[in-house]
Amino acid sequence: MSVSYRQPGVVLTDRRFTVPLDHANPSGETIELYAREAVASDRTSQNLPWLVYLQGGPGFGANRFIGRPAWLGRALKDYRVLLLDQRGTGASTPANRQTLPLRGGPAEQADYLTHFRADAIVRDCEAIRPQVTGGAPWTVLGQSFGGFCTVAYLSLAPEGLSTALITGGLPSLDAHADDVYRAAYPRIERKVVAHYARYPQDVERARRIADHLLTHDVVLPNGYRLTVEAFQSLGILLGGGEGSHRLHFLLEDAFVRTPRGHELSDAFQEQVQGLLSYAGHPLYALVHEAIYGQDARPTDWSAERVRAEFPRFDAAKALAGDEPLLFTGESVHPWMFDCDPALRPLRETAELLAARTDWTPLYDPARLAANEVPAAAAVYHDDMYVDTGHALTTARAIRGLRTWVTDEFEHDGVRAGGPRVLDRLLALARDEA
């Protein structure tokens, strides 16, 4: 039974759907999807076209907006919006350390998680679309990994789309995870260098914290073991428009003087555990590299292996000399499954996923080359999370796709400049710009 309620300027309705776990076996096991319908409060009786929003990730539920912030207010001028919690996320059937043991042991859990990639998400959308739109095609807005899903949508079921809009999410059509991370580490280093140019005092602050972590065993209040590698991974902040400033404020008051000497402050530790814990989005860690698996090659902890090719990220070597500590970014490593109590029970499951050799293609280059769906993509000029070179190569491979390449925003442009970003993409897709 659907439940509707009001927020400022918007009417929301909870929607629930049942879909097959494996769309190749429609009579088999099912899972539940949750989505939140949003419509402008002064347009509830109007027959509006639909826009489905696919969140970034993988592993994150759709935004829990209050009112009409970011891009939503612009979307509600033209559409009813469906904020979909992709399978395994948000209020959809969860996949985490508490629920995955219901599947059985690590092997059964790994098999289950192979059904949580972009192709399954597209099939979910097609399964629920007739119930939402009455069968009419809808517009999809895909942010980051949601953009990967949108390219998969154009490959697998373009007949379900009236328009495809992508922000910071054009994937390589054929790159292995190793290729993705070989492109990523130099880009991450550029972001760190830019951060230190803005906040030169952070060079010594970061080195001091890293040195402390190399010589002390620090366990955060939630049980997370804070190693120097975990500290470096806070560089994920640098991919957002406000990220450099947030990292600076985090570092500036890291230590407090105690009877035992200087220690990392409770306030610092509280903030860090909130940033590093995967308790709210474990799928991100479990299937992150699997989103790049498209053939018989295992991903095999690609980010960890490729990092060894970039010795400047080695904290011990940096501290032994006078080099600044380099932060890392959007990558998943095996040590995370030792440090994070939300991931520890899933370490063997993650190992099995990393070793799989039966991944199937997610994109259809021939179908994309013949695309007829109006499509537009925002490509951020030096996006830390998605390689610009890979994105532009893919843009050229999708017939009719129009791109807006900009350095005005970082990866979170659809949030930071949402109304303007969405307005620009709609104009491009409609040939109005």
Reply yes or no on whether 411 is catalytic.
yes
* Averaged pLDDT, 133-143: 98
* Averaged pLDDT, 61-67: 94
Confidence category of residue 413, pLDDT binned at 50, 70, 90: very high
The CA-to-CA distance between both ends of the chain, in Å, stands at 42
Residue 387 has pLDDT above 80, yes or no: yes
CATH number for the domain running over 3-173+363-429: 3.40.50.1820
Contacts 24+ apart (CB under 8 A), 221-227: 221/266, 221/269, 221/270, 221/273, 222/273, 222/277, 222/279, 222/341, 223/341, 224/273, 224/276, 224/277, 224/339, 224/340, 224/341, 225/338, 225/339, 226/264, 226/269, 226/272, 226/276, 226/339, 227/335, 227/339
pLDDT in tens, 284-308: 999 999 999 999 999 999 999 999 9
- Please report, as a single letter, which amino acid is at residue 112: Y
Q: What is the DSSP string of 168-234?
A: S----SS--HHHHHHHHHHHHHHHHHHHHHH-THHHHHHHHHHHHHHHS-EE-TTS-EE-HHHHHGG
pLDDT in tens, 104-134: 999 999 999 999 999 999 999 999 999 999 9
Bond preceding residue 58 cis, omega within 30 of 0: yes
State the pLDDT at residue 329. 86
State the pLDDT at residue 2. 80
pTM for the model:
0.97
pLDDT in tens, 340-379: 999 999 999 999 999 999 999 999 999 999 999 999 999 9
Structure tokens at 237: 């902040």
Reply yes or no on whether 381 is catalytic.
no
CA-angle at 232, arms to 228 and 236, nearest 5° = 150
Among the listed residues 144, 172, 233, 331, the single catalytic one is 144
Among the listed residues 176, 281, 288, 411, the single catalytic one is 411
pLDDT in tens, 181-215: 999 999 999 999 999 999 999 999 999 999 999 99
Rounded percentage of the chain residues whose pLDDT exceeds 70: 100
Residue bearing tokens 């319908």? 37
CB-CB contact of 125 with 52 (8 Å): yes
Residue 1 has pLDDT above 70, yes or no: no
State the pLDDT at residue 33. 98
Based on the number of CB atoms within 10 Å of its own CB, is 351 exposed (0-12), middle (13-18) or buried (19 or more)? middle
| Residue 48, CA distances (Å) to 5, 17, 75, 107, 420 in order | 19, 21, 11, 45, 21
Q: Could you tell me which residue, 1 or 177, shows the higher pLDDT?
A: 177
pLDDT in tens, 308-335: 999 999 999 999 999 999 999 889 999 9
* Averaged pLDDT, 61-75: 94
* Averaged pLDDT, 228-248: 97
State the pLDDT at residue 424. 97
CB-CB contact of 90 with 53 (8 Å): no
Show me where the domains of the chain are located.
3-173+363-429, 177-355
User: What's the maximum distance between 2 C-alpha atoms anywhere in the chain?
Assistant: 69
Confidence category of residue 15, pLDDT binned at 50, 70, 90: very high
